[in-house]
Amino acid sequence: MQYLFLLNLLFPAMLVLAQNPATPDKIYDDLFVDIQMAKIYPDGKTFVDLVPKRSPQEIMAEYKKIKKAPPADFSLKKFAEENFEMPASQQLKYVTREKDVVTHIQSLWAVLKRNPDKPIDGSSLLPLPNPYIVPGGRFREVYYWDSYFTMLGLKESGEIKTIEDMVNNFAYMINTYGHIPNGNRSYYLSRSQPPFFALMVELLAEIKGEAVYATYLPALEKEYQYWMMGSEKLAAGSANQRVVKLADGTLLNRYWDDLDIPRQESYREDVETAERAVKSILANKEFKNEKQKEKAAEQIRSEIHRHLRSGAASGWDFSSRWFADKKNIITIQTTQFLPVDLNCLLYQLELTLKMAYTKITSSKSDVTARNMALAGQYEKRAKDRKKAIEQYCWNESAGIYADYNFVSQKVNDQVNMSGMFPLYFQVADRVRAEKEQKAVIRDLLKDGGFLTTPEYTGQQWDAPNGWAPLQWIAIIGLEKYGYFEESRQSAERWVKLNKSVFERTGKLMEKYNVTDLKLDAGGGEYPSQDGFGWTNGVLLALIKKYNF
C-alpha cells in the first residue's frame, strides 16, 4: 500500500514521455547528420538551436531532391544559411559600461532574461509559460542546476518575481514532460540534471513563507518518482535507469540518459569519441568474422554514447571523475557510479517531501493521518539514504567522500568537489567532515578558489578550472561545520578572481582558471562562455554574505 500513491503518479509521467516533441536529428534526418559531420558550424550546438525559415517538411523535401542530383555549385553551408536563422540574443548587443561588478550583475539580469516562449515548428526550443534567466553565450535556454545558483543572486537583487516565475517553469516542465530536462530543448529531454528543484522551493519558501511547500508538493512528488522510477520492482543486485539496488537491498541513484546515441548538440564529437574507444578496445582482440567484430563495435559505441550522455546529465561534462583511467574520455563509465552529490541531493529531496507533508494542515483527520504517514515514509527513506551514503560513498583510506562504482564494488579515490556535498547537506559526522575538508583544502584550494579535480586532462571539469556552483557548495559546507576561517578565505579568493577578470575584460565567465589567475579557463568542447548566470548569482551572494 505504501507505494500506491507513487504508482498513481507514475502513469501520467509515462504518458507525457510518450508525447515528447521530435528532436532535430529526427526532424532533419540526413541533413542533420551531414551538417554536423561536415562541421559547417564550429560549435555542434549551433545547428540544433537554429530556427527554420519555412516548414521543416519543405526544407527536407528540397534537400532530398538535391541529394539525389546535387548541383555542381551546391554548398551545404549556403543551404543551411538560406533555410535557418539564429535565435535573437540580447547579450550579443550588450556592451559593458559598468565599472562596479555588482552594478554590472544588476544590469545583466535584464539582458539574460527571456520572455515566455512561443512554439515554432521545427525549433528545438521547448516553450515555457513564464520569463526566465539563461546562462548566456551559447546557452540560450534555461538550464536546470544552473538556475538554483542564479536564483541566489536574483534573491540578493530583489528579483523575487523572476525566481517565482522560474520555479513555476520547472514545475510546468515536470508536469508536462514527467521531469525537469537538462534544459528547455527537445534534445535535452532524454535526461535531467542534478536535482536542485527542492532547494529552489526551499529558497522561495524562505522569502514567501511555508505555504510554498504545499503549492509545489505535487511537482516535488513527480520529480521524486522520475528519479525512483522502477525501484519498487527492482531485484537486488540490479539496476534500472536512474536506480540501482545493491546486493544487500540498498537503493541508491545514478546519473542516466535514456538514449544511447550521440548527443544531438555534440554529434560529431560523440561519434569521434566512440570510434576512438572502439579502436582502442578492439585493437588486440580477434574475431571469427567481420560481422562479429562489427557487433562488438556497435556495443561499445552504444555504451560510450550512454556514458557521455549520462556525464552530461551529471552537469560535469566532462571530467576525469567519470574516467576509468582518470585521463582519457574513451574510458568514461558514468553509469557505473553511484554519485555522492546526486544521492545527497535526493536525500535533501526526501527531507523536503517529509517536511512538506508535515506542514500541510487539514480539518479532516483522515487527510492529516495520511499526510503524517507519508511524512514518516520519506523520513525513513532519507535515513536509509544517509546511511547508504555513509556506507558506500566514504573512502576511509583516502579520508574523502566519493562516488561508488557498483560494478567494480570500489569507492573512487580521487579528491574532487563532489565530496563536499555531504558537508553542504550535513550528511557527514564531525570526524569525516574534518577529514574531507582537510583533503579538499590540501589538494584543491588554489589562489583563485577550488579546483574541480586535481587532474589535468583537457576536460573543462578538471584542473585548472573552478566553477561557481562548486565554490558555493564548498564554502557553505565548510561554514556549516564551523570552519569559518577556511570558508571566508576560500570565498575571498574566488570573489577576488571574479572581480579581477571583470576589471580586465568587462565580463563574468562560465568558469575560471583558479591556478594561474592571469590565464583564462579552457578545455572541453567549446570556448569559455561569458554572461554568466550561475557565476553572477554566486558572486553576488558571496559579496553580500561576506561584505566583500
Cβ proximity of 540 and 153 under 8 Å: yes
Cell of 147: 538556475
187 neighbors 23 (Cβ within 8 angstroms): yes
Q: Which of 263, 135, 117, 240 is nearest to 189 (CA)?
A: 263
DSSP letter assigned to residue 523: -
The residues, ordered by sequence, that sit 6+ positions from 512 with a Cβ below 8 Å of its Cβ are: 448, 449, 465, 466, 467, 497, 498, 501, 521
Does residue 317 have an active-site annotation? Answer: yes
Spatial neighbors of 31 by CB under 8 A, at least 6 apart, are 59, 60, 63
- Residue by residue, DSSP assigns 408-471 as TTEE-----GGGGHHHHTT-S-HHHHHHHHHHHHHHTEETTEE-S-S--SS-TTSTTEE-HHHH
* Sequence-ordered alpha helix ranges (H) in 456-509: 468-480, 484-505
Catalytic residue among 257, 436, 462, 510: 510
Listed in sequence order, the residues at least 6 apart from 341 whose beta carbon sits closer than 8 Å to its beta carbon are 194, 418, 421
User: Which residue of the set 317, 403, 436, 486 is catalytic?
Assistant: 317
* 508 phi/psi in degrees, rounded to 5: -110, 130
Residue 183 per-residue DSSP state: B
Q: What is the dihedral of CA 179, 262, 413, 521, to 10 degrees?
A: -90
Q: Record the cell numbers describing residue 93, joined without a space.
A: 548587443
The half-sphere exposure of 243 on its side-chain side, counting CA atoms within 13 A, is 19
Neighbours of 327 (CB within 10 A): 15
Give how far the C-alpha of residue 138 lies from the chain's centroid of Cα atoms, to the nearest Å.
Answer: 16
Give CA–CA dist 534/244, Å, rounded.
Answer: 31
Told to judge if 516 belongs to the known catalytic residues of this protein, a careful annotator would answer: no
Burial class (CB in 10 A: 0-12, 13-18, 19+), 214: middle
The tally of CA atoms less than 13 A away on the side-chain side of residue 384 is 14
Burial, 391: exposed, middle or buried (Cβ in 10 Å; 0-12, 13-18, 19+)?
middle
Residue 235 CB coordination number (10 Å) = 9
Residues with active-site annotation: 317, 510
